[in-house]
Amino acid sequence: MDERLRAFATACAADPGLHARGLWAYLEVGDAARARLLALQVPGPGALPVLVAAPTTLVPHPLRPVARSA
């Protein structure tokens, strides 16, 4: 996790409402690039939309209570 993301995660942990609209999800640049490269390797025409996100969130709290308060 780069320093800008780490700083943003710290801010979100202190104020969960800060990134509630994004559901506290994030994606690092390297992971986004890998997902794109993998998608380009799929043969055939057409495309399907997918959501690519990290397996964790930016807040270290259980999400249900945090979502209710945001």
Answer yes or no: is pLDDT of 6 > 70. yes
pLDDT (0 to 100) of residue 34: 93
Provide the b/e sequence for 27-38 (b: ≥16 CB within 10 Å): eeeeeeeeeeee
The residue range of the domain holding 41 is: 3-69
pLDDT (0 to 100) of residue 46: 79
Q: How many domains is the chain built from? A: 1
Structure tokens, 5: 């993301």
pLDDT (0 to 100) of residue 66: 67
Q: CA dist 50 to 15, 16, 32, 35, 43, Å?
A: 28, 25, 12, 10, 17
Render pLDDT for 8-64 as a digit per residue (tens, 0 to 9): 889 988 888 888 878 788 888 898 999 999 988 888 887 788 888 888 888 787 777
CA distance 67 to 19: 10
* pLDDT band for position 70 (cuts 50, 70, 90): low
